Amino acid sequence: MPPDPNCLFCRLVADGDHVRSTDGFVAIRDINPAAETHLLVLPERHIDTLRDVAELPDEEAARMLRFIAEVAAAEGLEDYRVIVNIGPSAGQTVFHLHWHVLAGSALPGFH
């Protein structure tokens, strides 16, 4: 899917300050962090939501997960949370697939 010129995250993929990048994915620091460490991991190509991952080749979907783990390791994170919001009622406000990687002492527990 080509970049969407109206998509904030497509612009950040092209021109943002990347913490880490690989072929197909980038990681950036969230400008409004919700934790001590708050990174966003984005596919370079425009994908609206996680629902659309079902249409991708299995290899590409697996590379997405590996890249998230590589980003966390590069940041020295051992304990962290990965969150993806799917749809507006779940909190997705930018419709370019992205994962929040959160770490730090202030994370509330989920059981």
Query: Does 98 participate in catalysis according to the annotation?
Result: yes
Could you tell me if 94 and 9 are in contact, meaning their C-beta atoms sit under 8 angstroms apart? yes
* Beta carbons within 10 angstroms of residue 50's beta carbon: 18
**What is the distance between the alpha carbons of residues 85 and 102, in angstroms, rounded to a whole number?**
14
Could you say which of 18, 38, 46, 98 is catalytic? 98
**What is the distance between the alpha carbons of residues 47 and 57, in angstroms, rounded to a whole number?**
13
**What is the distance between the alpha carbons of residues 12 and 43, in angstroms, rounded to a whole number?**
11
Catalytic residue numbers, as ranges: 98
